[in-house]
Structure 1
Amino acid sequence: MTEKKTWSQRFESALNPAIARFNASIAFDIELIDHDLTGSIAHAQMLGHTGIIPHTEVEQLVAGLEKIRQEYHQGEFNPGIEAEDIHFAVEHRLVEIVGDVGKKLHTARSRNDQVGTDTRLYLREQIQQIRQQLKDLQTVLLDIAENNLETLIPGYTHLQRAQPLSLAHHLLAYFHMSQRDWERLGDVSRRVNISPLGSGALAGTTFPIDRHYTAKLLEFDDVYANSLDGVSDRDFAIEFLCAASLIMVHLSRLSEEIILWASEEFGFVTLKDSCATGSSIMPQKKNPDVPELVRGKTGRVFGHLQAMLVIMKGLPLAYNKDLQEDKEGLFDGVNTVKSCLQAMTILLQEGLEFRPQRLAAAVAADFSNATDVADYLAARGVPFREAYNLVGKVVKTSIAAGKLLKDLTLSEWQQLHPAFAEDIYEAISPHQVVSARNSYGGTGFTQVRQAIIDARKQVST
């Protein structure tokens, strides 16, 4: 027979054991225990501050809650499914420690505003940690960029060779994606950091509580102005999963490029043993497991976002048990993003080695300098569209002849147009092609050098 719960005076019998298991959340919401204890301590202190309970009882409650924290971290407090959730587990243990005074902790509070407070405290902490991880990733990207300012890499559109780039410029694109992620999480954090504590079950409370006092103790920026909204709002969790999904998009895009770069067909990077695995039957292989796993785990976070949206889309006000389903996806989304950021940072820092000679050979063996031929003519008064069409013909005939543009003689160039001179060879060399793109935000070395300096300042703030 399952033990009767707090509400059992309304009921004549206990829950069916299978329903008790189905109803319980202790298996995953124990993640919130530290935050539940912190929130409960603040609530107890507020009850004393407002005179709802005596200060001597507040001291007993706080001491008991801190003892539970100590017991948990020492492995002595391990509530099972009979506790249903972490909130009841803590309250039950508190009564065991301090006696009937422990039953006063829930005065002027519902599990609805309690769990909402715990979840926000948890997510606020996790966002801070993820933002730091983003800074760590950015620092590694900048370190690699700084060492590869004049290393060239083919740039692609439609996965076709387009124009050569500074490798540093390519990596800085991911820096800026990560910067937006960092800023976006800061925006989300502001809406996470609003206290629902004191909203009660849905309508507030008859006790003379001070919600702003608990908000100050818990370092919330504000309190919910509407009790219904306070206990039923999960916008903050959806916003976080949106931001988390974009982090995963960016990590997955970088992963895809690394996977391509590590292939024999590209050969732009070598995978180091510390971040690669082998094949069970093909001894020659070295597999890019880290970026493949990051790419695969991305859909997992997307799924949690979709699930949260579906949970919320039809819920009437205020609290509904459906909201118990917000936690597993949120917790897993947090853990997935953190593990992927850590793995990608390690991979970039110690698991990859770029192959400058292979990269240099790649940018020297294609027609990605064709636009620069057109620009060369346009700078000498030839209308760009006319120059564009002329170069298109040159590329076509060169391919047919098995030549690259650099292989054409000066006489052949001048037969195409008299504006060509000896300096055409310098103009279409890969290094010059990259260097010449000196517009703000471009891949020119001067621009990229300044971009690295600016990025370093952003990371340090």
Structure 2
Amino acid sequence: MTQIPESCYKMWGGRFTEGPHEALHSLNNSLPYDSRLYADDLDASKAYAEALHRAGLINSAEADKLVKNLELLRFDWIEGTVKILPGDEDVHTVNERLLVEITGELGQRLHTGRSRNDQVVTDMKLWLRKAIRETLGRLSGIIETATRQAELHLGVLMPGYTHLQRAQTVQFSHWLLSHAFALREDGQRLLELRDRANVLPLGSGALAGNPLGIDRLWLAERLGFSGVTANSMHAVGDRDFVVDFIYCCSMVSLHLSRLAEDLIIYSTKEFDFIKLADGFSSGSSLMPQKRNPDSLELIRGMAGVITANLTGIMMTIKGTPSTYNKDLQYDKQFCFQSFDKLSQVLEVTDGVLQTIQVKQESMEAALSTDMLATDWAYYLVKKGVPFRQAHHIIGRVVSEAEKRGVDITDLPLGDLQKFSPLFGSDIVAVADYSNNVQQYNAIGGTASSSIVEQLRLLKKCARDLAKQS
């Protein structure tokens, strides 16, 4: 039979009289990206060798030899002894070439009924399971850190903001946990994606399926998939799971960016609510006094990089006709970079939160009596005034205080009673910020009792995510 030259092993080429142009080969070479799939490619190949034996296409000794030699290749990759030849296109080419070098013609049988089209999408799904697991572990760590800081600073008050304007008094713990709950939802999205994407494409061939009796259900169970894809054409061209993963990464990065933005604002001298540790700050090459929140700015900036990857993969898919097209080779660049960059910013975010200094005096000094307006409206509501009327009355009180250049708490009781006879001496109690926050005790509120329940939910979430990692 015709032998494939050892110097340039190709999975294709029989109908070609010339090799690819150097420029095309360089563009086509995906090894800089897909080489990180080597372990997944070996795992899928071992299972496929066993499936070939079950289908009667190779005997048990041959299957055993293939499996053992594929496992030996793993050590070559780990030890960095794999040599890339000029003709190698991708990780699949390299692994098959190396297998043929040590097993001869038997190695050429492994690709029977299999295409790189169903091979690469299987490898990507195997990689995705690990990527999700690692990301869940990092999310778990941040949520745990946030709950620890929130519990430590329970009772610390600060202004809550809407439109970056002081709104109502809240607890620092309540603010911090609001970001932790966003990350909890990110974890839930990743878990949903893991379950939804966990169907096996292998056995779909190039696009028409497999005609050689391969037991796909057995393959799915062997590789830890919950089922198999139902349509071979859809299977080989499907990259929705990659889009979904990058979307999940984008959402995490957006949530981290919002947290970073809050912390950047709160770390300014104008706010002075928090102080970053030296290890997560930097200085200026010109101004000796500067203390810059570079760690947070980089977290914020990375959201743009990851979201750009989401746009990139979506536009790639938009332009491709059905089944596999070479454009899909770029999915790995978008996917791997999103995972890598998100891993970096998750680690930095956790470090920032672990080492942050909460400046309670500055936070509570920023509380102002205008933030009592809503509580005063509720004071009237509790005395039977419809809320819309109470809102209007307190609006007039605020306006009067502004005209006089005083706080609403400085207005004499007699003047307040001109706006509503229901004002009494008990209005003084509504000027206590600590008491006011405790009345927001409905589920999800800023009262300590509510925050304790939030802590319970998030601690459980952190434990559950850690178990999935």
For Structure 1 versus Structure 2, the TM-score category normalised by the shorter chain is over 0.9
Structure 2 residue 221 is the aligned partner of structure 1 residue 216: yes
Q: Give the drift of 1:105.
A: 1.1
**1:459 Cα offset (Å):** 2.6
Instruction: Check whether the contact 1:194–1:222 (CA below 8 A) recurs between aligned residues.
Output: yes
1:319 pairs with 314, 318, 324, which one?
324
Q: 2:402 matched to 1:384?
A: no
What is the distance in 2 between the residues matched to 1:255 and 1:360?
Answer: 21
Report what 1:447 is aligned to: 450
The structural deviation recorded for 1:65 is 1.0
Equivalenced residue count is 458
Residue 456 (structure 1) aligns with: 459
For residue 356 of structure 1, what is the aligned residue in structure 2? 360
1:40 aligns with 2:40: no
**Counterpart mapping for 1:15-414 below 5 A:** 15-79=20-84, 82-350=87-355, 352-363=356-367, 365-414=368-417
| CA drift at 1:289 | 1.1
1:431 aligns with 2:427: no
**Highest relative contact order (Cα 8 Å, sep 6+), 1 or 2?**
2
Contact persistence 2:8–2:88 (CA under 8 A): no
Q: Equivalents in 1 of 2:206, 2:134: separation in Å?
A: 31
Helix, strand or coil: the match of 1:149? Answer: coil
Distance 2:306 2:387 in 1: 46
Measured in 2, the distance between the counterparts of 1:77 and 1:3 equals 15
Secondary structure of 1:8's counterpart equals coil
Deviation digits for residues 136-163 of structure 1 (CA, Å, limit 9, x no counterpart):
1110111111112211111111111110
Q: Is the 8 A contact 1:4 1:13 kept in 2?
A: no
C-alpha separation between the residues in 2 aligned to 1:9 and 1:449? 69
For 2:425, give the aligned amino acid: E
Alpha-carbon distance change, 27 to 458 in structure 1, aligned in 2, over 3 angstroms = closer
Length-normalised TM-score, structure 2: 0.94
Q: State the alpha-carbon separation in 1 of the partners of residues 83 and 438 from structure 2.
A: 63
| Aligned-pair CA distance for 1:423 | 2.2
Tell me the SS of whatever aligns to 1:368: helix
Deviation at 1:223? 0.5
C-alpha contact (below 8 Å) 1:26/1:81 kept by paired residues: no
C-alpha separation between the residues in 2 aligned to 1:454 and 1:63? 47
Identity of aligned residues (%): 38
CA distance in 1, matches of 2:245, 2:76: 32
Stretches of structure 1 that go unaligned for 5 or more consecutive residues are: none
Deviates more, 1:86-95 or 1:233-242: 233-242
C-alpha distance in structure 2 between counterparts of 1:120 and 1:59, whole Å: 25
SS, match of residue 155 in structure 1: strand
Supply the AA of the counterpart residue of 1:202.
Answer: L
Alpha-carbon displacement from aligned partner over 1:230-265 (angstroms, at most 9, x marks no partner)? 111111111112222111111111011011001111
User: 1:449, CA displacement in angstroms?
Assistant: 1.7
TM-score by length of 1: 0.96
Q: CA deviation at 1:417?
A: 3.2
Alpha-carbon deviation of 1:360? 0.7
SS at match of 1:162: strand
Relative distance call for 1:3 and 1:456 in structure 2 (3 A) is closer
The C-alpha deviation readout for 1:92-129, integer Å capped at 9, x for no partner, is 11111222211111112111110010000001110111
In the alignment, the residues of structure 2 paired with residue 437 and residue 210 of structure 1 have an alpha-carbon distance, to the nearest angstrom, of 59
Provide the rounded CA distance (Å) in 2 between the counterparts of 1:9 and 1:437. Answer: 75
Return 160-169 or 378-387, whichever deviates more: 378-387
SS in 1 for 2:275: strand
The SS at the match of 2:371 is: coil
Higher alpha-carbon deviation: 105-114 or 443-452: 443-452
Cα distance in structure 1, aligned partners of 2:319 and 2:271 = 49
CA distance in 1: counterparts of 2:404 and 2:290, whole angstroms = 37
Gaps of 5+ in 2: 1-6, 465-469
- Provide Cα deviations, 1:340-387, integer angstroms capped at 9, x if missing partner: 11111111012x111000011011x34111111111122112333332
* Offset, 1:82: 3.0
- Identify the range of structure 1 (98-107 vs 155-164) with the bigger mean alpha-carbon deviation: 98-107
1:180-225 CA-to-partner distances (Å, cap 9, x unmatched) read: 1111111111122111001001111221111111111110111111
Mapped contact 2:266–2:272 kept (Cα < 8 A): yes
